[in-house]
Structure 1
Amino acid sequence: MTTPSTATFDVEVMTAKLYEEMERLGKSSDTFSKIAASRMNVQIGQTPRETIWTLNKMKLYHFYPQTPPEQRKGTPLLLVFALINRPDIYDLRPGNSFIEYMVRQGYDIYLLDWGRPGLEDANYDFEDFSLKFLPRAVRAVQRHSGSREFSLCGWCIGATITALYAAMRPDDGLRNLILLTAPLDFANKEAGPYNKWLNTEFYNVDELVRQYGNVPGAVIDYGSKMLKPVENYVMNYLKLWDNLDNPNVVESWLSMNTWVTDNVDFPGAAFRQWVKEFFRENRLMEGTLIMEGRPVELQNIKASVLNVIADKDHIVPNCQSTAAMDKFGTQDKLLLEMKGGHIGLMVGSGASKRTWPQIDNWLAKRSA
């Protein structure tokens, strides 16, 4: 008859592991205290660039090419972000930067920075941004690059702005239009929390704009985080706590947190128009959105269109982007669904292997 052997403990091994864990906790606590005291910061937007044009608070950046002249694409690419948050999300950090990736593929990259609006800018609306300011930035790109033809890439509300421009300025040299999580069609009033919040009778957008002039970025940031409160206010910090001993995770977290917390106010007139004419009345898709005295018609878009959506986008539901495909006048158009969320689509851990190469493959064929 045999008896099971009694497990033995190696005191030296256990002691070594205990000291190792205590050292890890000590380093983690030190890292966390530095983060809490704002003594550990990271710099975002590090890809080398130059400012080539300014207007009011706006700036246009050109990124230095990183390939030999014979390997560069012939059509420059202008990137446009939303009116909220900073455009540095395109260039978050080395190794996780869409701009860094694209300049290494031979693209001549430009980035439009809307700046931070003051009270004197509260009357700017989407007509101003799409048909007054963006065209001036486009002309600056054309002068600087020496190419009349160019490509546009808009993200979120930046995609709405670029779509409006493409529809109203179809003959200005726009060759390719890339839309990233583009909010265009608001017919489905049940799609996403924003639709439900902004369409309620209790949401008085006129009073909000009257009180503030420009809608504070902190207010919009709070609303965005409340779409997923547990994930944003609890799980986000628990993930950091569990990885405080991992420098790569800490740097990634700090980079994203730096961008997320750098809020930008939403110009009052544009915000009022966004809520009323887009969310509530769906004028763009209904053909009743008037700019420069005439309707904005997506069927006028002649440029090739790549419409990229994210399968887990909780900010811009896919239906707000997909329904517009039939409206685009061009015959060369592609709907591309990628894994990720509204932001993770372009800066998530898999973006450099999934989304960026897909965009590059599509654009390279049309940028000769």
Structure 2
Amino acid sequence: MATQITARRPCDEEAAPDPMEGVADLLDRVAGSSLAQWTMGIAPESLAAAYADWAVHFVRSPGRSLLLGAKGVRKAQRLSDYATRALGSGGRAERCIAPLPHDHRFDDPAWDTWPFGLWQQTFLLTQQWIDAAVRDCPGVAPHHEAILRFGLRQMLDLISPANFPATNPVVQQHMVETGGKCLFDGAKLWAEDWQRQVRREPPDTGGDFEVGRNLAVTPGKVVFRNELIELIQYSPTTERVRAEPILIVPAWIMKYYILDLSPENSLIRYLVDQGFTVFAISWRNPGPEMRDTGMEDYRRDGVMRALDAVSAITGAESIHACGYCLGGTLLSIAAAAMARDGDTRLSTVTLLAAQTDFTEPGEIGLFIDDAQVRYLENLMWQQGYLDSRQMGGAFEMLRSADLIWSRAVQEYLMGERAPMNDLMAWNADGTRMPYAMHSQYLRRLFLDNALARERYVAGGGTVAMTDVTAPLYVVGTETDHVAPWRSVWKIHSLTDGEVRFVLTNRGHNAGIVSAPGGKHRHYRVLDRPQDENHHDADAWLAIAAQHEGSWWTDWAEWLLAHSGQSVPAREPGNAKAGYPVLGDAPGRYVLER
């Protein structure tokens, strides 16, 4: 009998798991996490790739080099003319270039005296020329151009003449007025902030504001609690209320009481006083133990569990749901999944500064590419969450001139803290985000844009915003750098249903927190009926009617128009339905550090 010899397949060894792969991944993550700690989560390879892309195309464009050289000569001539006019008129002359509209570093008239005027004009002309050098270079990827412009802006903001006592006339005047004491006071403030940074303590609010004392004080009760949320039901202030309750889904990137600040600045209190039964989710502040909590957990154990509780407590068949920022994106996912599954409990859906299409996420998109997300994942992998300080650094750099350098000058050179208000106190009360959730959010929504492309999976199947038939009330804010209003507006393209879009002035937070009676408030509004063709964003802006005052009043009227008859006011909780009162608002999750 012949002996059968089985040849060994060369691929057998490669098919087996390589034990070194786990070790290699661990080393890569440790190295990436360590580096990310020093770079505030910004991937240096993204910056390097952007610069390389620009440099290669710039070298291949001699015509552009010639153009920039000519621009430089013209700017030098403008500066020389300014200097000549200033010297001939006692040191003052009309500026040859004005700062950008949002740049207030050089507003003080002292900046027009000699030689400070020369320095600030040199800085502004240089800033303009450098931006022109990297803008619209043929062949450069738009994302790389945006990254490079952002990086150069940070470098220029660092060396602005406004940042140094020797070149800042306002600081010098204050030094004379205080006999130099302002520098001593500034040094004390810097030392306090440094110690808080080292000890990982939140910024000092001066003790003027405290949750439960003069923040988040609208009366109510905690009526449900699980490992992810507390659900607060607010006590009625009217004898009768609308049959449909309101459920508010805030972002877990922030404490919920952004919508319940001081009593005169509380959207929740305003809704209660308008005769609505209001519920709000208070998210738990996650620690390392929640590292594997994902987006589906937030949908299922957060939004859906809260909806079940609201239905059981009130007995209402329909609910008005409202989501803010990330909470609005999550509510959109939940609403689409409910529509797919035949769940018709949502009477209306309100989205406040919330994106559903991420093709144009604004400047925050500078921090979202494959390299950046991998960097953040390494950072979160080590600690199990993303800390509020790490998130806040990226947002501050988007407006570094105002949020970093101007504040540093005011505090550390002028020796003065800006007066604290309720919104600033809330902003200092940071939260964290679990590793799994934030990674999924960045990859599925920002990178893949899965919700807009009908590829997002929730509840075991894909969801589509086209399935949502509930009327939509959508709010964008004019100067939002977190969720730009044109990005928020894109929901018009994702649904054929009724949409009332409102554009209010101010930014992501100050535009939403817009109590009636406040000064300098206005908003634009335009309805798109169901199945009607929509305009593009700029066409919408041209025809939308502008109204003075707060958009809160418009929203309350819209909710009333989409509500049924009134019913007797409901006190918090329903023990018979299995939802006894667990404690007073604002609950304990909001107090977690």
2:217 aligned with 1:46: yes
- Cα distance, 1:332 vs. partner? 2.1
The separation in 2 between residues aligned to 1:258 and 1:176, in whole angstroms, is 32
Aligned to 1:357: 553
Q: Match for 1:58: what amino acid?
A: I
Give the distance between the partners of 2:346 and 2:411, measured in 1 at CA.
43
* Equivalent residue for 2:316, pick from 147, 156, 159: 147
1:200 Cα offset (Å): 5.7
Alignment of 1:1-368 (within 5 A): 39-43=206-210, 44-69=215-240, 72-170=241-339, 171-188=343-360, 191-199=361-369, 201-204=371-374, 205-235=376-406, 250=419, 253-329=420-496, 331-348=497-514, 349=518, 353-368=549-564
Task: Give the drift of 1:319.
Answer: 3.0
Whether contact under 8 Å (1:185, 1:319) holds in the other structure is no
**Alpha-carbon shift at residue 326 of structure 1 (Å):** 2.5
Shift of 1:209: 2.5
Q: Give distance in 1, aligned partners of 2:346 and 2:436.
A: 27
For residues 301-323 of structure 1, give each alpha carbon's deviation from its aligned partner in whole angstroms, at most 9, with x where no partner exists: 12111111111111111232212
User: Paired residue for 2:157?
Assistant: none
Equivalent in the alignment of 1:25: none
Contact 2:216–2:260, Cα closer than 8 Å, also in 1: yes
Which amino acid is the alignment partner of residue 254 of structure 1? Answer: N
CA distance in 1, matches of 2:273, 2:411: 31
2:237 is matched by which residue type in structure 1?
Q
Amino acid at match of 1:310: T
RMSD between aligned residues: 2.9
| Superposed displacement of residue 84, structure 1 | 0.9
Distance in 2 (alpha carbons) for counterparts of 1:254 and 1:115: 24
Matched residue type, 1:173: R
Amino acid at match of 1:207: N
SS in 1 for 2:307: helix
Q: Which amino acid aligns with 1:196?
A: L
- In the superposition, the TM-score normalised over structure 1's length comes to 0.82
Task: Decide whether aligned partners of structure 1 residues 267 and 257 sit closer, same or farther in structure 2, where only a CA change above 3 A counts.
Answer: same
CA distance in 1, matches of 2:465, 2:366: 26
SS at match of 2:452: helix
Q: Which runs of 4+ in 1 moved over 4 A?
A: 35-39, 234-242, 348-352
Instruction: Give, in whole Å, the separation in 2 of the partners of 1:236 and 1:202.
Output: 27
Structure 2 CA distance for partners of 1:210 and 1:338, relative to 1, 3 Å: same
d(CA) in 1 for partners of 2:250, 2:411: 27
**Hey, what's the Cα distance between the residues in 1 that align with 2:293 and 2:460?**
17
Structure 1 residue 167: deviation in Å? 0.4
Q: Deviations over 1:161-191 (max 9, x none)?
A: 1101110012241111000011211123xx5
Q: SS of the residue aligned with 1:342? A: coil
Tell me the amino acid that sits aligned with residue 487 of structure 2.
Answer: Q
C-alpha contact (below 8 Å) 1:345/1:355 kept by paired residues: no
Once residues 296 and 217 of structure 2 are traced to their aligned partners in structure 1, the CA distance between those partners, rounded to angstroms, is 32
Secondary structure, counterpart of 1:316 in structure 2: coil
1:202–1:354 Cα change, 3 Å: closer
**Equivalents in 1 of 2:409, 2:481: separation in Å?**
21
For residue 344 of structure 1, give the secondary structure of its aligned residue in structure 2. coil
**CA shift at 1:68, angstroms?**
2.0
**Alignment deviations for residues 321-342 of structure 1 (CA, whole Å, 9 cap, x no partner):** 212222225x322222111211
Q: Distance in 1 between matches of 2:411 and 2:560?
A: 38
CA 1:237–1:141 in structure 2 vs 1: closer, same or farther (change >3 Å)? Answer: farther
Structure 1: give runs of 5+ residues left out of the alignment.
Answer: 1-21, 23-28
CA distance in 2 between counterparts of 1:37 and 1:324 reads: 39
Rounded to whole Å, the distance in 2 between the matches of 1:240 and 1:166 is 46
Q: Give the C-alpha shift of residue 236 in structure 1.
A: 5.8
Residue identity in the other structure for 1:163: S
Change beyond 3 A, Cα 1:180–1:117: same
Q: Distance in 2 between matches of 1:129 and 1:317?
A: 24
Counterpart-to-counterpart distance in 1, 2:395 and 2:354: 16
Distance 1:235 1:73 in 2: 47
TM-superposed CA distance for 1:278, in Å, is 0.8
Larger CA deviation: 37-46 vs 297-306: 37-46
The whole-number CA distance in structure 1 between the counterparts of 2:449 and 2:278 is 33
State how far apart, in whole Å, the 2-side matches of 1:239 and 1:45 are. Answer: 30
Using the TM superposition, give the Cα deviation of residue 239 of structure 1 relative to its aligned residue in structure 2, in angstroms: 8.7
SS in 2 for 1:282: coil
Indicate the larger mover: 100-109 or 320-329: 320-329
Q: Give the counterpart letter for 1:95 in structure 2.
A: E
Instruction: Assess, with a 3 A threshold, how the Cα gap between structure 1 residues 355 and 211 changes in structure 2: closer, same or farther.
Output: same
Gaps of 5+ in 2: 1-177, 179-184, 194-202, 523-548, 565-593
**Distance in 1 between the 2:411 and 2:218 partners?**
26
Question: Which 10-residue stretch deviates more, 156-165 or 301-310?
Answer: 301-310
TM-score (norm. length: structure 2): 0.52
Q: In the superposition, relative to structure 1, how do residues 210 and 143 fare at CA in structure 2: closer, same or farther (>3 Å)?
A: same
Q: Aligned pair in 2 of structure 1 residues 37, 195: CA closer, same or farther (>3 Å)? A: closer
How far apart in 1 are the matches of 2:463 and 2:513?
32
Residues 57, 282 of structure 1: alpha-carbon distance in 2 compared, 3 angstrom cutoff: closer
Contact preservation (8 Å) 2:291, 2:435:
yes
Displacement of 1:208 in angstroms is 2.3
